A = this chain, B = another copy of it.
Amino acid sequence: TSVDDSLSLTGPKVVAPPMVYIAGEEMTHYASNLIVEKWIKPYFDTTNWEEYDLSCKARDESDDQVLKDAVDAGKRIGAIFKEPTITPTAVQVKEMGLSKPFGSPNGAMRRGWNGITISRDTIHIEGIELGYKRPVFFERHAVGGEYGAGWNEVGQGTLLTTYLPQDGSPPFVVDKRDLTDEQNAVVVYHNPYDNIEPLAHLFFKRCLEADITPYIVTKKTVFKWQEPFWANMKKVFDEHYKEDFVKAGLMEECGGELQHLISDAATMKLIRWTGGGFGMAAHNYDGDMLTDQIAQVHRSPGFITSNLVGKNDDGSLIKEFEASHGTVSDLWHEHLAGKETSLNPLGMAEAMIGAMEHAATLDAEKNPEDADKQAVKAKIFNYCTTLRSAMHNTFRYKQGTRDMSGPSGFTTEDFIDKVAWRLNRYLAQQTEESPPPTLHEPSRQFRRNYDVDLESVNEMFVKFDKNSDGVIDIEEFTDLLVHLNLAPTKTPKAKDKTDEIL
C-alpha cells in the first residue's frame, strides 16, 4: 500500500519532527518569519522545533550561552536551519551597545558538530537557465588548514616544531627553520584527514544521485602533504562508486578514472565548464576561493547553497542549512523606513527545505518501525517538492521578486503570499490552467546594486557586430563566445591541456 503523503489547509496539521531553528536578524529574519507563518505553519505543527536566537542582542544578554545551547541542541537533534546572522564590526558593537565583539558562530558550530564538509551547490530554477546549465556541486573540507592555524609575528631567530607521538615513541622534529628577516609571520596548522572517508562517501553519493561527474581538487603536486586527501578520496571511489559511475555513463568525459585537478587549473575550468554537470571536492581554503568564483559565474551568491555536514557519535549525520548571503542590511533599513522591498528568499527557502527533509529523514531512521514517522517523512518530502514547484513557477509566471522579474516584480510580502497561494493550490491537487512558461534567465540588470554601463555595452556590441549591420548573426555570435572564452568545446574535459599556449 502506498503511503498517504497528502497535506492540505483543511486537513489536520502534521507534527513536524524535531529541528533546530536558529534565528538571526534584520531583513532575512523578517522574511524567514513570514515564510514560517505563511508557508509552513498552515500545514505543520512546529512545537517540536527548538528555536535559538543568535541575534547580537541575545548573545550579549546570555554572555553567548545561547550559542552553546544552540550547538548542544544541534548535536542532539541533528537537523538545523539557520537564518543569516551578524558578526558585529567594532562600529556595530558600539551602535548596538554590546559588551564585546561577538565572533562568527561558525567555528563553534564546526567544532560542536564535528564538521566534515561545507556543501555548496548551485541552485537551479526549473524552467529558467542560470549561469551553469546543469548543477555544480562543491564539497569544501570543513576543518583544517589555515583557518585553525596558530601563528605569531616574530623577528630573527629559530622556529622549531616537534611532534610528540601519543603512543610513547620518541618525539621528532617536523621542521626547524632559521628566520633571517626582521619581520616574519610564522604559521602552524594541520589537516586532520580521518573524516575524508565520510566526506568522500557524501560527495560521491551526491554526485551519483545528481548524475554529475566528480573531480578532486588539490595542490598536491607542490604541497605534497595533501596527497592523502586525494588518495583517501580515490580509494573510496574505486572501492565503492567507480562501477556505478561508469554504469551511469558519467566517466566517459574523464577517461574512465576519477580525475585530479590542480587547484590553480580549477580556476580556469570553472570559467569554461558553464555546461555544469560536475562536482569538486577540495581543502578548506581552496574551497573558499573556488566557491566564490562559482557564485560569480552562476548569477550571484543568492543561487548557491551553504550546508555544514557533521557526524554525530552514533554515526548519524548532523546537517545545518543556511543561505550563503548575509542579513541584507540595506533592504532592512528601507523596510524600517516604510519603503517597499523585494527580497528573493530562494536561498533561505532551499535551506529550510533541506533542514525539514533532513529532520524527517533522521526521525524516520531512528524509528524504523513507526509507520506514523514514515508517513510524516513522506508528507514532508511531498510538501518540499511542492513548495519548490510553487516557488519556481511563481518566478516563471513573472511573479517573482524584482531581481528576477524586473521592476514589475513582487514585493517581499507579495511574493511570499503568492507562493503561499500557489502552494495551497498544488497541495490540493489543483494544477495550473496552462503549464508555466520556460524562461530565459532574467536580466542580471535586475539584481540589486547591479548598474550596467549601457554605453560600454554599446561599444562591445559594435565590436562584435563586425560587418556593422546593427545585429549579431550566428557567425559573429560564435566569435563572441569564443572571444569571451565561453564557447562550449568538444575536447573531452580530462584532456584539457595544461600547456595552453596556442
Q: Tell me if A95 is interfacial: C-beta within 8 Å of chain B.
A: no
Q: Is A62 on the interface with B (CB-CB < 8 A)? A: no
* A190 and B194 form a contact (CB under 8 A): no
Kindly state whether residue A299 has any CB partner on chain B within 8 Å.
yes
Cβ-defined contact, B187 with A189, below 8 A: yes
Bound Cα distance from A285 to B453, whole angstroms? 34
- Binding-face segment, A267-275, A311-319, A415-423, A428-436: A267-275
| Chain A stretch 213-252: residues in CB contact (< 8 A) with chain B | 219, 222-226, 228
Q: Specify which chain B residues have a CB less than 8 angstroms from the CB of A182 in the assembled complex.
A: 194
**A165-B159 contact, Cβ under 8 Å, with A223-B146, A445-B482, A487-B445:** no
In chain A, positions 156-173 with a C-beta closer than 8 Å to chain B are 156-167
Closest to A191 in B: B185
Q: Quick check: is A401 within 8 A (CB to CB) of the other chain?
A: yes
A292 touching B265 in the complex, CB below 8 Å, given contacts A188-B187, A445-B482: yes
Indicate if A297 sits at the interface (CB-CB under 8 A): yes
Chain A interfacial residues counted at CB < 8 A: 134
* A228 to B, closest residue via Cβ: B183
In contact, A159 and B163 (Cβ under 8 angstroms): yes
Q: Which residue of B lies closest to A286 (CB)?
A: B289
Interface string of A461-496 (1 = CB under 8 A from B): 101101000111110011101111111111100010
A290 and B486 CA atoms in complex are apart in Å by 18
Chain B residue, CB-CB nearest to A131? B485
Contact of A478 among B187, B285, B454 (CB under 8 A): B454
Question: B149 near A223 (CB under 8 angstroms)?
Answer: yes
Q: Is A385 an interface residue (CB 8 A)?
A: no
CB distance from A7 to the nearest CB of B (A): 30
Grouping DSSP codes into helix (H, G, I), strand (E, B) and loop, the A interface class, with mixed when no group exceeds half, is: mixed
On whether the beta carbons of B219 and A487 are closer than 8 Å, the reply is no
In the complex with contacts A175-B151, A191-B184, A267-B289, A158-B164 CB distance below 8 A: yes
Beta-carbon contact of A263 and B275 below 8 Å: no
CB distance from A324 to the nearest CB of B (A): 9
A472 shortest CB reach to chain B, Å: 4
Given known pairs A187-B191, A328-B501, the reply for A163 and B174 (CB within 8 Å) is: no
Residues of B near A219 (CB, < 8 A) are: 146, 285, 288
Give, as a whole number of angstroms, the nearest-CB distance from A147 to chain B. 6
- Chain B's closest residue to A303 (CB) is B501
A46: CB under 8 A from chain B? no
Q: What residues of chain B lie closer than 8 Å to A466, measured between beta carbons?
A: 440
Given contacts A190-B179, A194-B182, A440-B463, contact A301 B501 (CB under 8 A): yes
Pick from B184, B457, B463: contact of A129, CB under 8 Å: B463
- The reply on A443 being an interface residue by CB < 8 A is yes
A165 contacts B175, C-beta separation under 8 Å: no
In the complex, A176→B164 CA distance in Å? 11
Interface centre among A176, A329, A501 (most CB of B within 10 A): A501
A267-B293, A478-B454, A490-B451 in contact; A167/B187 too (CB < 8 A)?
A: no
Chain B residues positioned under 8 Å from A449 (CB to CB): 491, 495, 497, 500, 502
Which of A's residues lie within 8 Å of B, judged by CB?
129, 131, 146-147, 149-167, 174-177, 179-195, 219, 222-226, 228, 263-265, 267-268, 271-272, 275, 285-286, 288-293, 295-297, 299-302, 323, 325-326, 328-329, 331, 342-344, 347, 401-403, 440-441, 443-445, 447-454, 456-458, 460-461, 463-464, 466, 470-474, 477-479, 481-491, 495, 497-502
List 5 contacting pairs A-B, 8 Å CB cutoff, sorted by A.
A182-B194, A185-B225, A264-B288, A403-B501, A452-B488
